[in-house]
Every structure is written in C-alpha cells, then in structure tokens.
Structure 1
C-alpha cells in the first residue's frame, strides 16, 4: 500500500461500517499479520508515531489545528521490516474525546475494536501519567461491558480471562518534562508506569474509583511497556512535524522514537484468536467484518462467537479449496489410465488436498468439515474410477472393432465358409488378440473387454467350425474343447483384473484413512501447542501480577489470584501433547474411517446406472 485507507468509518446512519476496499486489500494476504493499533485523546500526535512505524515521514494525517483529523480507524499494510513472511498492519484510530463529535458511545466502540483487532495496543497521551491521564483511560474500565469472552450467558469471572487474549500494552507519554525520580531515586520508564499503576489500600468508593482503571490495565493486558517522549520541536513547528527534516527535531525525541519502533517491531506478535489461532489477511478481514456487524446489531462482541463464526467461514473455504485442488490435479491425468497410475495420482492429489485443508482450517469441531472433505474426495475418486472404466471400455471396444474389421469383411465375403475356413478364422482371431494385447494404454477394462469380445464371437466361431468340411468330427470336437479352454482362460484373466482392482481399492482406502489421521494428528498437536503457549503467557502475566501485589502489601488480592494461577497450571500440565492427540484420534479416527467409502460410491453409481461425469469420448494421451 502506498498510503493508508479507511478500514472502519461512520456511515450515513452514524453507525460504524467497514470499508469494502480495505477488506479487498487484506483478503489476498496469506502471511500472518502483526497488528499494531494506537488509541488516545485527539490531537496528541498518534499519527506521527504510526508514520514512523511505517518508515515514512507522511501517511497517516497529522493535522495542524485543534480539530481531530483521523476519523474512524485507518489502516496501512506493509511488509514487516523485521519478520520475514509477516505483514505489518498499522491501525490509526480516531482521537477519543473529540468535542465536535460529542459521541462517547462511538469512542467506546473505537477503543474496543482497537483492543479486539490488535496484537499490540499503543495508548498515546500527553504530559504525565497522573490521575487525570488515567481518568481519560476510563474506556479500559468499560471493556467488560463491551467485550465478552464466552458465548454462554451467565458466565462469571470471564474478565479474568482477558489477559489470555488481549494485546500487549504500550503507553506512549508525549511532551514529558519531569525528572524520572520517585522518592529521590532514579527510576526507569517502566518503573514509572508501574508506580503510576500501583493500587491504594482501602475499601471506600474513592479508593475503588482510583484503583479500577489501574487494576483493569494490570489484569487485562499480558505485557506493559512505557515510553516517555520529550517535545519534538518548539513553537509553531509542532504543527508541521511531517514536513520537518530530522535535523529540526530534538535528538532525544528522535532517539526515543527509534527505541519505540524497535520495541514494537521486536515484541509485537502475530495476531491470534482465542486458542492461539493465527490470523492471515483473509481471516483478519473476516474478523473485522464480524465485529463491526455485531456492534451494528446492538450486541456485544464475543471472542467465542468470533472464533466460531470465523471457523465456519474459513473451514468451508478450506473444504472447497481442497476439493478444487484435488479436482485440478486429477483432471490433468489422461484417461484411460492404468490402475497403479490412477491410484498414485489419487494418493498425491488427496494428500495435497488434505494438507491445504489443514493449513487453512481451524476449530473443526468433531472434524465435521474434514469428514465432508474425506467423503467428497471419496465420491470424486469414485466418479473418476467409474469414468476411467467407461473410457477404458470404450477405448478397448473401439480398438477391437478396428482390429477385427478385416475378419468381418472376410466373413461377409465367405472366406471362412470354404474348406479350411476355421483354421483361417482362428488364425485371424489370434492375430486380433495378439495385436490387441500389444496395444498400450487400454486401461482397466482390457481383459474384461476382450472376454466380452470373444464371447460375442463364440456363436460365429462355432458356425464357421461346423461348416468346415475339411475337419473331421474328432478334430471339430478338439477345436471346441480348445475354444472353451481359451474362453475359460480369458474369463479367469478378466476375474483377476477385477480382483486386482478391488484389492487396490482397499489399499487406496486404507492409505486415505492413514493420511487423514496422520495429518489430523499433526494439526491437533499444532493447535494444542498454540493453546498451551497462550495459557503459558497468561500464567506468566498472572504470576508477575501476583508478585507485584505481594510486594505492595495486597496479600488478600494476591491470594484471590491463586485459584486462577492454579487453574492455568492444571491446564498446561494436565496432559502431554501425544496423550491428548492419541485420545482424540481414538475417538474420531474411526469416524473418519466410517465415512462412505469409494467402493460404496461405485456400487451406488452402478446400481443407479449413472453415466460417467466426464464426456464419453476417450481422452488421448500426449
């Protein structure tokens, strides 16, 4: 993108709406997205920091008046400067508290969307981190009213789970002029932030109001970081930062800006959903649409519902993409194909289709979509097998018809009606069979077609034999026995041909089942590892918070956190990855195997007398 575009704005009805053009930019991005949002009061210089993250002097509108310039949420997508294979999505939000707008509800939803969409949230303010600054951050205290974790009504204590899914928190304080000292001791920026977030002891209303935003920041966000910026320029130059050369800015400001960007690039993680599910551009675009639609409907965005809704969309798309991948690979195979050739192509295309499905799908409850995929692949393979049989049969019949044309002419001309005609007839027929066998690429119906051809010539051969006066009765009887023996031998070859096909079909089905289970095992192990990492991050955050409470003398609050910490420890250590995966596979593995088999589809097609799905004209080999 050459510059930012509006992602979420206000429609004519005053309600939030998504910009389709922005979603069209996101959807093709197959890379994981690292999403950095910035929020804060209007006219505090948020856009400048976002432009620096984009590596540009200009981009997001800075404005030079007391009016808010950014409206809604604006997006800029760029290659991540430090992480190969990742995209950086920058979200610059409308300034909170715009007196011209006078719509606190809109501010609350803008803030909530920034939290829901980002993997790192930057809060931008001016001056110092004091009570006034925290009062302006009242949106944090209201998040529990505007974001739900669990779908079931009546779930209590779900706000304690926010830390598992919320972004990292960075507080950028602009135009900071104070000395970094507390009680006469030099402190770091992070220590300054933690001191400002320290709770007061007591139980009165004022104490509770004082503690609430601080406690929410500590409880909700897994990591916290602080950057203090001096004023970048003096006087009227402050209104044109995007046009000033670096030499006109305070070197201390430039150095802090560099440190800020380095920290964000290094620590901002790829955006994930509940359960550690990574988001690419396509998934992220669906998430934006889902949250805005929910807000417009008057409901509260729910993390569980968002995952479920996104999973339904993505899994259906993954299913269709996988089937299309299989179809594209198999349709390139010229027919008729040999049994081994078709089986090999099916195995390769099926494995590729499953891999494509596994890469895109997630939260496939009960493997419902995977079962549909397995059934769809089985049905399509059955159609291809049936079509291959039909093309093979047509190819063989056409070949036999071509090779036996001279025999038909001789029969019409009475060549075989003369004494010694049977010997000439058998010689010509043997030549037809020999030439037929030497012809390659006849497919899986070669022996059956030949059996049917010889059976169709049986009466004709017997008539020629009876009419040949050169042969004695004994010689005719010997010739009949030989003819029967040859027919029996051909029947056995045709039966063996069918048997080999049935055996190969069983091998194909077992291989398909093993491949489905193998890829499912890998997928489950990956999802479990992501969920465990999510729980481990939450545990680390809770333990850090508990330690801080103990150090500050809040023993009772620290004790109340023990149940959460114990629950997270049980979740992380409850079972090993291999044990969990094995248990799940034992439950659903047979369910995958029980999906209607290729043989079932073939029998169904034959019973219904369905025509091949492909044109009946044989496909020539290149």
Structure 2
C-alpha cells in the first residue's frame, strides 16, 4: 500500500447513490486511518459546472485529479477526497474535499443538496463557495442552503426550555465551530468600483452582504442568507477570477499550457492557493481538539450514519462518540506500550530500585501517549482505567521479577553447593575437624553467593531458606565431630543460631526495602498522573476559552459593522450576546480553576483508595503466607 500522503488520485469519501442515499467509502476510511498527523481540511461547494475541481487540483499541486468534466453533465457525485502533504505546514496533511455540484438537473433533489452542503460545512477547516459572474441577489438566492443549516446541524444534544425559546442564541455556538468562509467568484467581468470608489474583493463581498433595513417580509427574506453568512462563519474572504480563456477552450483548461491562460487568472489562482495554505487551520471539533486523519474519518462516518438514520447531525454527540472511540483506543495503546516496553527493557531479575526506575519511565511515557490521544475524559474514567491496568501489570511484572530472582538464586546456590554436596556424599565432613571444614566451605559458598551480581529482590530470602534447610545438616556434622569438646559444640551451636538470625534479619530488611520501594512507586505514579492530568486539563480549558474568544471577536466586529451601517437596534440586540461571552470568558477562569482542583482532589482520593486497597491485599497475602509457613 502506498503512503496515503502520496495518493495518486482522489477517492470517493462519501458516495451519493442514484437513490439519494449517502454512503461512507471504507477505502477512504482505511486511507484516513493511516494518517496520524493533524489535518487541514479544505472543502469546495458550488453550483455544478462552475470549475470547482480546477481549484482543488491546483491546491493539490496537480493539473488534474478531480474530475473537471467538459459537458453540462455533473461529474463529481458525493464528496471526493484527496490527501496530500501540506505544502507549508510540516508534518501536517492537507485534505481536499470536492463536492458534487449543487442544483444538478439530473438529480432534482434539493434535500440531498442540502445534506451535501451541511456535510461540507461540518467537515472543513475552510469552506470555499464557488460561483459564477457576480455576487448579487440572484447568487445569494442560490446560496439558500446556508439559511437551512440551523435545521440540518445541531450544536447541543439537549436544550433547556430557555434555550429552545432563544434559538437565535445558537448563532454564537455555530460561529465557534464553523469553518472560515471563502467566496470565489469566477468569470468576473465587472470593475471593483462601488459609488465611484475602487474597492477590494473583501469590501465587495461585504457590500454584497449589506443588510436591508426594515422588518417586513421582503426585507427579512433579503437579509436571511446574508445574516447566516455573517453570523455563522468566523471569518469571510473573497477572490474574484477573470475568465481563464476565451471560447470553447474553457472545457479543456486542465490540458492547456499555462501560457494559454489569462495572466490575471493565473495570478489570482496563486493568491487563492497561498491564502488557503497559510490561513486554513487544523480541523478541530467542539472543545478545540485537533483532528488527525483517523479521527477525521470517524467524524465523517458519524455524520453520515446520523443522516442515514434520519436524525440531524449534532456537534456535541459527534464529539462524545469520537471521544469514546479515541479514549478506549488511547487506553489500549498506552497499555500496550507499557507492557511491551517493560518486556523489552526488563533483564529479569532486577534490583528493586532498578525495577522501579524502569517502571516509572515506562509509565510516564505510556501516560504521555494516553494524554496525547485522549480528550473529553471529563470524569477521568479512562485515565483511571489506564492507571488500574498499569497497576495490575506492575504487580504482575513484580511477581515475574520475584520469581526470576528466586529461580536465579536457586540456580546459583545449586551451582555453588555442588562441591559441598559431593563432599557430603563422600563423607568428607564425617571425621574429626569435619565441622570446621564444613563451616569454611559454607562460608565460602555464602560469600561467593553474596558477590554474584543481578540476583534480584529475593536474594537474602532465598539464602535465608537455604541456610535454614542446612541447619539440621550442620547440627549433625557438629555433633559428630569428635575433635570438639561439649563446650566447643555448645559455643559453635550458639554461633550457628547467630548466623541464621543475622541472615533472617537480612531477609527481613530486603523485604522491607522491597515493600518501601513499592509504596514509593505508588506515590510517584499518583504524582505523575496528577501532573499530566493537570497539564491536559489546562490545555483543554485554554482551547475552550479560545473558542469563546473567537466568538466574541466575531460578534464585536459584526456589532461594529452594524453600527457603522446604521443598524442601531440590531447592534443593541447583540449587546446581550457579547456581554454573555465576556462573562463566560471571565467566569470560566474561576469556574475552571475550581473544577480543576475539585477533579484533582477526587482523582487523588480514588487513587489513594485503590493504592491502599492494593497494599492491604498484599499485606494480607503476606500474613497468610507466614501463617502457612509456621
């Protein structure tokens, strides 16, 4: 499979069947699933046979790719996708979406056109509307789809009675999440002059979007599409293109040398592409979370399935649905990383501190993987799942390390004691002075064992049990040694007990250090989770604030324009929205701080409870083991 960032040609993302049914293309989803980079999504919409595909091919850096067609029959059906490396943003992918032409006479289904238009808005970072001739009332009438967006897109899953009584307040919500709006006017033949004054393309667009005063039905119908564009989209930009060539050659534009095209057209095309490359932002969803290709595919699939079910796409529901998928995958990915890293890095057996350091590094990196992928984990249930999974794996690796230590130490002792076992079989110690020979060999064995590296966390415990097992053997040799007097034997027996007692203390100290290290690991794990969670929450809070600030800036700009045009009443009505946004931004700081520390405290209590439970279980198991030994 070729790298999806170097697709040779576009593929269909959303198929529009002859029956008007929308279907997501599994092949497109497969391609998107391989793109882990942030994506910038450009979508173009317009009436059919208006040259949309030519501009998209130029954005892709190709002369052809998207079907241009050369007849009055519409070529692009549904929404086609082309993923290419972003020419200006390193490690970003540019996703170009070319939609089928609106108003196709062969289709005759206005509702279907509305859904294509709505999907283009929902999926894009920059929304390009392509039209012919001029921006006049007729052109805006063709853009009636924009006035139906409130019927086709919901921001919130549920609304209070107060919100339902104030539907217009959702304008603020739309402007937070809608793409930037670019109007491209093709075959423009007029001069950019208004009231005898030269104007820019953007001023021309603003003039076309000027509202008509009055409250009658005619004024309201005239203002509706203009208000939608002004209120829904966070920014507006306009480009006007002269006709590229004269005559029938327009149908062969993709095959013509650039020298045959009007220089003004070529210049405007370069300006358009440069603007789109530089000004288009990474695609985000509600909450400001950046999307990669995989997440974008999930988003498209969610919207299409919602439409197919007969429901209306909802931004909030889409985010919740995507968050569930991504958070579950984030837990799995982080757990897989932790486990594979521990297996790869762990040369069992390991000493307690070495094991702790390795666990701490793997856990920190696993958490970073989780935090990078997860979002909207509001009650931190997924982070808690990850933490519980890591704790369980940590104890499993601890057990593996302990078992490895026991096996290694047994192997060392078996090897070192082979000579003594051979001497015992030959009766080497069953002679006068034999106890001294036995004791010297045993001391050499113990010293050699202690000097062996990488014995792990059970070395002293295994040695303690080994010497305990040799207790009867040593006592028998001692009592049989005819060279020693009774007082010598009594003194030697006391020394034997002292040696065993000292080794028992060493084993207990080893166990104490091991348990203490586990408690330190739990505390460090807790602190690492708290630190990364706080950083994540602060970043999410900042994204939400930016959304509100973007909406505020748009409303302030719109209010200023209304005041300048004499729409004092409309500007006054916006004051409540503006004040609400200001309060939201200011109060958000206090509220989010309180919520942040509340969640941190709650997470800390859950963490400490679970840690305490795990330690209680471990202590209980150790107590039961001691009872069995007694």
TM-score, normalized by length of structure 2? 0.93
Structure 1 runs not aligned, ≥5 long: 610-622
Q: Specify which of 177, 183, 191 is matched with residue 189 of structure 2.
A: 177
RMSD: 1.8
Q: What is aligned with 1:585? A: 600
**Structure 1 residue 401: Cα displacement:** 2.0
CA separation in 2, counterparts of 1:152 and 1:354? 33
Structure 2 runs not aligned, ≥5 long: 1-6, 626-630
Q: Specify which of 35, 43, 48 is matched with residue 37 of structure 1.
A: 43
Q: What is aligned with 2:464? A: 451
Q: Specify which of 115, 120, 124 is matched with residue 126 of structure 2.
A: 120
CA separation in 1, counterparts of 2:172 and 2:15? 31
SS at match of 2:569: helix
Is contact 2:175-2:233 (8 Å) kept?
yes
Deviations 1:370-404 (A, max 9, x none): 11111111110110001111111111112212222
Deviations 1:49-108 (A, max 9, x none): 111111211111110000101111011111111111211111000000101011222211
Q: What is aligned with 1:530? A: 543
**Structure 1 residue 471: Cα displacement:** 1.1
Q: Specify which of 88, 92, 98 is matched with residue 86 of structure 1.
A: 92
SS at match of 2:155: coil
Q: What is aligned with 2:78? A: 72
Q: Residues 490, 57 of structure 1: CA spacing in aligned structure 2 closer, same or farther, 3 A cutoff?
A: same
CA separation in 2, counterparts of 1:288 and 1:94? 16
Q: Residues 559, 606 of structure 1: CA spacing in aligned structure 2 closer, same or farther, 3 A cutoff?
A: farther
Alignment partner of 1:291 is 2:291 = no
Q: What is aligned with 2:23? A: 17
Is contact 1:382-1:601 (8 Å) kept?
no
Q: Residues 62, 605 of structure 1: CA spacing in aligned structure 2 closer, same or farther, 3 A cutoff?
A: farther
SS at match of 1:121: strand
CA separation in 1, counterparts of 2:587 and 2:112? 43
Alignment partner of 1:250 is 2:265 = no
Q: What is aligned with 1:385? A: 398
Alignment partner of 1:271 is 2:277 = no
Q: Specify which of 145, 165, 175 is matched with residue 177 of structure 2.
A: 165
Is contact 1:335-1:391 (8 Å) kept?
yes
CA separation in 2, counterparts of 1:298 and 1:595? 45
CA separation in 2, counterparts of 1:36 and 1:593? 48
Q: Residues 607, 462 of structure 1: CA spacing in aligned structure 2 closer, same or farther, 3 A cutoff?
A: closer
SS at match of 2:118: helix
Alignment partner of 1:554 is 2:591 = no
TM-score, normalized by length of structure 1? 0.95
Alignment partner of 1:107 is 2:122 = no
CA separation in 2, counterparts of 1:248 and 1:604? 86
Is contact 1:382-1:602 (8 Å) kept?
no
CA separation in 2, counterparts of 1:595 and 1:4? 51
Q: What is aligned with 2:101? A: 95
Q: Residues 108-257 of structure 1 correspond to what in structure 2 (within 5 A)?
A: 108-153=114-159, 155-156=163-164, 157=167, 158-257=170-269
CA separation in 1, counterparts of 2:593 and 2:15? 48
CA separation in 1, counterparts of 2:129 and 2:610? 52
Is contact 2:172-2:551 (8 Å) kept?
no
Q: Residues 353, 411 of structure 1: CA spacing in aligned structure 2 closer, same or farther, 3 A cutoff?
A: same
What is the total number of aligned residue pairs between the two structures? Answer: 609
Is contact 2:522-2:611 (8 Å) kept?
no
Q: Residues 602, 8 of structure 1: CA spacing in aligned structure 2 closer, same or farther, 3 A cutoff?
A: farther
CA separation in 2, counterparts of 1:231 and 1:321? 53
Q: Residues 518, 219 of structure 1: CA spacing in aligned structure 2 closer, same or farther, 3 A cutoff?
A: same
Q: What is aligned with 1:341? A: 354
